[in-house]
């Protein structure tokens, strides 16, 4: 399962040296308060989440993306130490609907624009207030919305992947008692991490405020060597 689902090898890290996100859905509008959508979803309060497996983590410490370091410096409240907060949420129907609402609302609210055009620099992770952003901005905005809704921070983890087109991309993963799910600006529905045709590279460590871990076989010498050759995700 692990080897087949993650599909990670040293050759994939070459692609991470180029900046940019996968082309997202076009967004429009503003982020609606969750309470304002309650009546619209009350009829489907018994919604059942699709099946998802638990994403396996390794103990390999990954290079922290430079954009994330800058983000945490500017938004320290979004990068707190885990403390006693749980790293898993209960996947109740209410929590599932909240995940769907946040994913759809943020996807509609933000229009895609790369960092070079938006901020005049190759890499700048942000929670945008002007309605424009790239893949990290979508993910960070969704993460903030879920934190504001009461979800525990260790359960909300940004991940770096390669898409089926070998494009570098960032998504938000949510760890639940029914598996790990993905909130993605490339799709409207929330799906299990193993349902997307992604090559999983790294994601936040739930045990360290600024820590990241590599996703792969900790005993694979090729994988370990690829990490040693250069920073993971440092280009964006």
Q: pTM, whole model, 2 decimals?
A: 0.79
| Structural domain total, the chain | 1
Q: Residue 78: inside a domain, yes or no?
A: yes
Note the pLDDT tens digit of each residue in 87-97: 999 999 999 99
Q: Residue 28: inside a domain, yes or no?
A: no
Residue 82 has pLDDT above 90, yes or no: no
Q: Residue 128: inside a domain, yes or no?
A: yes
Residue bearing the bigger pLDDT, 3 or 122: 122
Q: Residue 200: inside a domain, yes or no?
A: yes
Q: Residue 209: inside a domain, yes or no?
A: yes
Average confidence (pLDDT) over 65-84: 92
Residue bearing the bigger pLDDT, 51 or 120: 120
Q: Residue 236: inside a domain, yes or no?
A: no
Residue 132 has pLDDT above 90, yes or no: yes
Pairing of strands 199-204, 191-192: unpaired
Residue bearing the bigger pLDDT, 21 or 9: 21
Domain of 13, CATH number, reads 3.10.620
Map residue 130 onto helix, strand or coil.
coil
Give rounded-to-5 percent helix, strand, coil for the chain: 35, 15, 45
Note the pLDDT tens digit of each residue in 16-52: 434 568 865 544 445 555 544 444 443 343 357 888 8
Q: Residue 32: inside a domain, yes or no?
A: no
Expressed as residue numbers, the domain containing 97 is 2-18+51-228
Distance CA 102, CA 108 (A): 10
Q: Residue 180: inside a domain, yes or no?
A: yes
For residue 225, give Cα distances in angstroms to 6, 57, 63, 104, 222: 17, 18, 13, 39, 5
Q: What is the pLDDT of residue 90?
A: 96
Average confidence (pLDDT) over 209-214: 93
Q: What is the pLDDT of residue 214?
A: 94
Q: What is the pLDDT of residue 31?
A: 53
Two tokens at 213?
């871990």
Q: What is the pLDDT of residue 216?
A: 59
* Ordered alpha helix ranges (H), the chain: 2-6, 38-41, 66-74, 93-109, 115-119, 135-148, 221-228
């Amino acid at each position: 399962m692990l080897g087949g689902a993650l599909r990670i090898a040293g050759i994939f890290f070459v692609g991470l040296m180029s900046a940019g996100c996968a082309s997202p859905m076009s967004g429009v509008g503003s982020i609606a308060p969750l309470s304002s959508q309650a009546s619209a979803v009350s009829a489907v309060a018994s919604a059942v989440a699709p099946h998802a497996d638990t994403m396996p983590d390794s103990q390999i410490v990954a290079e922290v993306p430079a954009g994330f370091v800058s983000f945490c410096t500017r938004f320290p409240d979004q990068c707190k130490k885990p403390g006693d907060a749980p790293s898993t949420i209960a996947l109740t129907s209410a929590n599932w609907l909240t995940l769907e609402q946040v994913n759809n609302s943020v996807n509609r609210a933000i229009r895609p624009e790369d960092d070079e055009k938006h901020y005049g620099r190759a890499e700048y992770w942000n929670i945008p207030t002007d309605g424009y952003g790239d893949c990290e901005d979508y993910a960070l905005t969704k993460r903030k919305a879920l934190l504001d809704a009461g979800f525990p921070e260790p359960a909300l983890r940004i991940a770096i992947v390669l898409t089926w087109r070998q494009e570098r991309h960032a998504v938000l993963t949510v760890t639940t008692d029914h598996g790990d799910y993905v909130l993605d600006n490339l799709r409207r529905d929330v799906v299990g991490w193993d349902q997307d045709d992604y090559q999983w590279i790294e994601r936040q460590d739930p045990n360290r405020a600024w820590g990241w871990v590599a996703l792969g076989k900790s005993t694979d010498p090729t994988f370990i060597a690829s990490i040693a050759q250069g920073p993971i995700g440092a280009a964006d």
